[in-house]
Every structure is written in structure tokens, then in C-alpha cells.
């Protein structure tokens, strides 16, 4: 029976994992289509994003694997073994524990090393692709570089790595709703900086509008190359591998400590996720197809863990006390879910 459960868990897990990674990675690429110029670039982005998306997909896939396997026992009327034989329940728990621990063998390195590295390299690749896309624009037409930035120019002249634009029109929008219209006679693109000469800036907002003229001004284009890939701070701890999270003068000690415990708590959530899954499906399962129930419960478990872990990060002002809140919800969830499971079984 131990092998019977494991076989079902692993089969369902790997199928769900591949489907989820494909959906999540493809959705990520779809959002960045404006800067992906060819199939090769898209494939690079997809492969770079796989470890990061696996970090999200594995908890959902492991929860689904357990819930769908148990749900099928209800459909096939085999769940009676779990209800009436204590040895069957014990075997089920042993198989879930083995299944959960085996997943940690590759989930731990993903959380501590590969996902942060993937996140960092993926963002940098998107920025590089966006910059390359910007330098290959055609004159005489509007180009939507991102959802909040568009450019038009009459003529383009290239000189080595520098690009000169003639008669530019720039349209962009800030997060607060302010809109800017910029006209310039000429502009030079050097790296990420657009140097503009002889033009005007119109600012339009809900409560005001004004126009000003300039002889020279410059715009950092990186923040507009992609609405979700603004110039990111390499000191952001989410880009660090766990081994790189050291206490330095440049980064607050508490922030580093919280980031470390966030990743430990994330791993513990994954360890407990299959157990939470069985507790919930045993309580909510029906004697029909349980696929939709499993999807809903798995999404609920992952979303709960994601929200709770990120909420605790905002409690850095509490100092080391905030660390307790990484682990307290795990304990509370386990007690509540086990209580209802035990009540249902008995």
C-alpha cells in the first residue's frame, strides 16, 4: 500500500508540475512580448524563468498530487480503507512524509539558490532585450515600448553605438496618472540615456496642466523599457542566494535575518503542504470528481502561504520578534486542519 500511494503521488505530481511550469512561464513571456523580438529570445526568457516558476509550481503540484490521489479513492469507493483501518491511515501518512521529504531534495536548492539567481538573470535579460528592441525601431511610425511609454520619430541616424533621432515625440504615463508629452528636435541614445535638444514638455494631470520649454534634457529610458522591469536594485535581497545573505554595513541586519527565515519558512510550508492537502481533501471531498475541489484547495493553500510570508516581511520594524510570525501560522494551520480531519475520520 505504501508503494501504491507513492506511485499515484509521483505520477500526478510530475504531470501537474510540468503543466504549471509551462503555464506560468508562458504567461510571463506573454506579458513581455513587446521586448521579445524572436523565438530564440523567447526561449531564453522561458528557460531562465523555469527555476523561478518552479518555486511557485512545486507547492501547488505537490498539494494537487495528494488531493487528486485521495479524491480518486472516493470516486472508486476505496476510501473506506482509510476510514476503517488505522494501519492504512498510518501507511498513508508514511507515504506522504516520504513524498514530501523527497520533494525537498530539489525544492531546497531552488529556493536557496536557483530561483533568486533566475529572478536576477531573467530581469537583466529582459532589460537587455528591451534596450536592443529600442535601438532597432523604425522611423515614421509609433512604437509602444511598454504599456506606459510610446515614441515616434521622423528619422534615425546611427554612428557606431550612438543613435541620433530627428523630430521626436515621446508619450509616457506615471503610476500616479500624470501624463507627459515631450517634443524635441533631436535626441541621442547613449546606453540607457536619451539626450534631448530643443523641445518642450507638457504635463497633464487631473488637477493641473502645464508646458515648459528646454534646450537640453535627458531621460533614463530603463524605467520605461518595460513596465514590470524597471531599473532594479541589485542589493534587493530577493536576488541573493541564501549563501550570499551575509551581514554587511550596506544592508540592514534585521532585513537579512528576515529574508533568511522567510526562505526557511517557505521550505517548511512545502514540507507541510502535502499534509495540509490530505487534511483538507478528507474533509471536503465528495463521492464524485474532486478535481475542481483539489484545484481550489491547492490554490488556497499556496496563496495563504505566499500572502503570510510576504506580510511578515513588512513587520521588520518589530525586529527579531517578527521571525516568530513566519512559523506561527504553520503551527496554527496544522492544529486546525488536523482537528477537522480527525473529527471527520472518527
Residue 70, helix vs strand vs coil: helix
Distance, in Å, from the CA atom of 158 to the CA atom of 2, rounded to the nearest integer, reads 68
- Predicted local confidence at residue 228, as pLDDT: 43
Residues contacting 303, CB < 8 A, separation 6+? none
Give the length of the chain: 346
* Residue in 108, 96, 105 with CA at minimum distance from that of residue 338: 96
- Predicted local confidence at residue 188, as pLDDT: 82
Domain residue spans of the chain: 2-132+234-345, 148-225
Half-sphere exposure of 96 (CA within 13 A, CB side): 24
Domain 148-225 CATH (choose: 1.10.10.970, 3.40.50.300, 3.90.660.10, 2.60.450.10): 2.60.450.10
Q: Model-level pTM?
A: 0.73
| CA torsion through residues 231, 237, 240, 244, sign | positive
Q: Is the pLDDT of residue 227 over 50?
A: no
To the nearest 10 degrees (0 to 180), the angle between helices 324-345 and 291-313 is 160
Write the pLDDT tens digit of every residue in 278-336.
888 888 877 666 788 888 999 999 999 999 998 988 888 888 888 999 999 999 999 99
Question: Looking up cell 506606459, which residue turns up?
Answer: 148
Residue pair 257/322 in contact (Cβ under 8 Å)? The answer is no
Distance, in Å, from the CA atom of 232 to the CA atom of 249, rounded to the nearest integer, reads 20
77 backbone φψ class: left, alpha, beta (φ>0; ψ -120 to 50): left
- Predicted local confidence at residue 60, as pLDDT: 95
Distance, in Å, from the CA atom of 263 to the CA atom of 229, rounded to the nearest integer, reads 23
Over range 150-160, report the average pLDDT: 80
* Residue in 135, 117, 152 with CA at minimum distance from that of residue 47: 117
Residue 150, helix vs strand vs coil: strand
Residue with more model confidence, 120 or 8: 8
Distance, in Å, from the CA atom of 282 to the CA atom of 271, rounded to the nearest integer, reads 19
Least confident segment among 95-104, 232-241, 311-320: 232-241
Edge-first strand listing for the sheet containing 149-159? 143-146, 149-159, 162-173, 179-190, 193-204, 209-220
DSSP E strands: which ranges in 111-208? 143-146, 149-159, 162-173, 179-190, 193-204
Distance, in Å, from the CA atom of 219 to the CA atom of 194, rounded to the nearest integer, reads 5
Q: Is the pLDDT of residue 59 over 50?
A: yes
Mean pLDDT for the chain overall: 82
Amino acid at each position: 500500500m505504501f508503494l501504491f500511494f507513492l506511485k499515484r503521488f509521483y505520477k500526478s505530481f510530475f504531470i501537474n508540475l510540468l503543466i504549471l511550469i509551462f503555464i506560468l512561464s508562458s504567461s510571463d513571456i506573454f506579458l513581455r512580448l513587446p521586448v521579445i523580438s524572436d523565438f530564440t529570445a523567447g526561449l531564453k526568457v522561458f528557460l531562465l524563468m523555469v527555476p523561478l516558476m518552479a518555486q511557485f509550481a512545486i507547492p501547488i503540484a505537490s498539494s494537487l498530487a495528494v488531493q487528486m490521489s485521495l479524491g480518486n479513492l472516493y470516486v472508486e469507493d476505496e476510501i473506506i480503507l482509510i476510514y476503517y483501518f488505522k494501519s492504512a491511515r498510518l501507511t498513508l501518512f508514511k507515504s506522504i512524509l516520504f513524498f514530501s521529504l523527497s520533494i525537498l531534495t530539489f525544492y531546497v536548492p531552488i529556493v536557496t539558490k536557483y530561483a533568486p539567481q533566475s529572478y536576477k538573470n531573467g530581469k537583466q535579460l529582459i532589460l537587455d532585450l528591451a534596450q536592443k528592441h529600442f535601438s532597432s525601431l523604425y522611423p515614421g511610425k509609433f512604437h509602444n515600448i511598454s504599456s506606459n511609454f510610446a515614441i515616434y520619430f521622423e528619422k534615425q541616424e546611427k554612428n557606431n553605438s550612438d543613435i541620433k533621432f530627428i523630430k521626436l515625440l515621446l508619450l509616457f504615463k506615471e503610476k500616479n496618472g500624470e501624463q507627459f508629452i515631450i517634443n524635441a528636435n533631436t535626441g541621442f541614445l547613449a546606453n540607457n540615456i536619451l539626450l534631448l535638444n530643443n523641445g518642450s514638455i507638457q504635463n497633464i494631470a487631473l488637477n493641473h496642466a502645464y508646458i515648459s520649454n528646454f534646450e537640453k534634457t535627458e531621460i533614463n529610458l530603463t524605467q520605461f523599457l518595460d513596465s514590470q522591469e524597471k531599473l532594479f536594485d541589485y542589493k534587493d535581497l530577493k536576488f541573493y542566494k541564501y549563501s550570499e545573505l551575509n551581514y554587511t554595513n550596506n544592508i540592514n541586519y534585521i532585513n537579512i535575518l528576515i529574508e533568511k527565515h522567510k526562505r526557511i519558512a517557505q521550505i517548511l510550508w512545502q514540507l507541510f503542504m502535502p499534509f495540509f492537502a490530505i487534511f483538507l481533501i478528507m474533509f471536503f471531498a465528495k463521492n464524485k470528481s474532486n478535481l475542481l475541489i483539489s484545484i481550489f484547495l491547492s490554490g488556497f493553500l499556496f496563496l495563504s502561504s505566499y500572502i503570510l510570508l510576504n506580510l511578515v516581511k513588512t513587520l521588520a520594524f518589530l525586529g527579531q520578534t517578527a521571525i516568530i510570525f513566519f512559523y506561527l501560522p504553520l503551527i496554527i494551520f496544522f492544529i486546525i486542519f488536523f482537528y477537522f480531519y480527525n473529527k471527520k475520520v472518527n
